[in-house]
Amino acid sequence: MKKQIIKPTILPGFMELLPREQMQFNQIIMIIQNTFEKNGFLPMDTPIIEKSEVLLAKGGEETDKQTYSFDRGRNNLALRFDLTVPFARYSAQYLPELTFPFRRYQIGKVFRGERNQKGRFREFYQCDIDVISNRELSIANDAELPSIMHTIFKRIGLKNFKIRINNRKLLNGFLEYLEIFDSTKVLRSIDKIYKIGIDTFKVEMNGLGVTEDKIFSIIDFISISGKNDEILDSLKKLGMENDTFLSGLRELEQTITYMKYFGIPDESYVIDLKIARGLDYYTGTVYETILNDYPEFGSICSGGRYDNLAQYYTIQKLQGVGMSIGLTRLFSLMLEKGMLKESQFGNLTRVLILTMDDNVEFAAGIAEKMKSHGINTQIYFEDDKLARKLSYANKLGIEYVIIIGEREIKNGTLQVKNMITGEQKELNIKDTISALGG
């Protein structure tokens, strides 16, 4: 009977990498995790599968449609579509056991059954940080989070990006002043103005029944630009007496000042009154991050401040501020545009020891010493020609090859070959380790 072979493929919209790229991806994950932890954020993880009634407590047709859900036993189950909803559920569930302010990070895969299109993923990594409290939370947090994200972007090799920052209270206050009280739809249109353009925005405003003069006021307002100080000055000069607006202005000014304290260089952040964020749970500061060379790519890191994180799971109000990197999309862009530097990541294995089966004992001893000095080491056990073994090291990008023969075992020395320069030396084990920087 002939066995049936099934074509090995994966579904569209799922990212899968070859080992070299996977190493680069993991390296970025490590940088993100390390930077979060360096700043006092605690790790969190939640199940990928939860009850649909819990994950979809908030509702919203778009989310429901995109969520992978299915029946199992008596339950309808769903795969998490973001890390915020599980975080809200977690905070409510373990409320008495958490210490506030609670600084948490979570890095993990989320799932959205989106229509298949380039640059959109159905399974992707989100990297979230949030600070939440059951009491008042200092505005300094709103400045610290983008400074942490800024550090990450620098460390992973992004050069040309800008964190755009705004405060929803400014927009809300301004719309109140214009006596537009159903502001949600207006904010959604503003949020996508970079995508739809001014003309479509006007049409949408007309559709909502906003008068011509008010539309121009809104456009004038969100177009205020300049350096951060200049924008803040312009906002003050508007002479608005609306409380919401004034509170937003105060918060934004403080955030901008603190961002300087946290070491974000001037060129990396800018007030942008067009940033509104679609999600309606943001109530203060909002962020987006744009790659200057690829503005059409959209935001690589977004977030904001909210008043009531866990409202669907507890009556305890939890206020907080959070930011999230959509890593899979960002990584695939970096890969496509050659933004990942080979030198920056390198190969995990630094030394390949070549040996015959009958000197495994000697080779194992050498490998143990290398590893105890922090040098990642692999032994090539198979009985192949030398040329094939050297080619193996080359293909994997391994920097050094150690060759062990009868003579070396007798003399207690090693033939150490640098695969980049081609240079080969006979060294003892101690000199080998120091030559490799161990």
| 19 vs 207, beta carbon nearer its own copies | 19
- Closest by CA to 166, choosing from 138, 187, 137, is 187
For its own copies, give the closer residue by CB, 58 or 295. Answer: 58
- How would you classify the pairing of strands 377-380 and 351-354? parallel
Rounded to an integer, what distance in angstroms lies between the CA atom of residue 1 and that of residue 356?
40
Of 276 and 309, which CB lies nearer to its own copies in the complex structure? Answer: 309
CB 401, min distance to its own copies, A: 12
Total chain residues near its own copies (CB under 8 A): 99
In terms of Cα–Cα distance, which of 311, 258, 262 is closest to 285?
258
Among 1, 8, 117, 410, binds its own copies (CB under 8 A): 8
Site for its own copies in 347-386 (CB under 8 A): 348-349, 352, 357, 360-361, 364-365, 368, 371, 376-383
Binding mask 319-348 for its own copies (x = CB under 8 A): -----------------------------x
The nearest distance, CB 357 to its own copies, in angstroms, is 6
Of residues 219 and 279, the one with the C-beta less far from its own copies:
279
Residue 230 structure tokens: 């200049």
3-class DSSP state for residue 44?
coil
* Chosen residue from 176, 392, 415, 426 binding its own copies by CB under 8 A: 392
The Cα 10–Cα 121 span in angstroms is: 13
Smallest gap, in angstroms, from Cβ of residue 9 to its own copies? 7
- Residues 174-213 close enough to bind its own copies by CB under 8 A: none
Pull the structure tokens for residue 160: 């040309």
Footprint (CB under 8 A) of its own copies, residues 123-152: 123, 133, 135-138, 140-141, 144
**Segment 29 to 58, residues that bind its own copies, using CB under 8 A:** 37-40, 42-51, 53-54, 57
Choose which of 219, 335, 396, 429 interacts with its own copies (CB under 8 A).
396
- For residues 223 to 262, the per-residue mask of contacts with its own copies, x marking binding by CB under 8 A and - elsewhere, is -----------------------------------x--xx
CB of 283 to its own copies, least distance (A): 17
**Two tokens, residue 162:** 């800008």
Select the residue interacting with its own copies from 3, 74, 237, 385 (CB under 8 A): 3
Cβ atoms of 190 and 168 within 8 Å: the answer is no
Q: What part of residues 55-94 is at the interface with its own copies (CB under 8 A)?
A: 57, 68-72, 75, 77, 79, 89-90, 92-94
Nearer to its own copies, 173 or 326 (CB): 326
> How many of the other CB atoms lie within 10 Å of CB of 209?
9
DSSP state letters, 338-397: T-S-HHHH--S--EEEE--GGGHHHHHHHHHHHHHTT--EEEE-S---HHHHHHHHHHHT
How many CB atoms neighbour CB 408 within 10 A?
Answer: 18
- Give per-residue burial for 324-363: e unless 16+ CB within 10 Å, then b: bbbbbbbbbebeeeebbeeeebeeebbbbbbbeeebeebb
Of the candidates 332, 334, 373, the one whose C-alpha atom is nearest the C-alpha of residue 350 is: 373
Tokens of 419: 């695969």
Residue ranges in 258-297 that form contacts with its own copies under rule CB under 8 A: 258, 261-263
Query: Of 25 and 221, which CB lies nearer to its own copies in the complex structure?
Result: 25
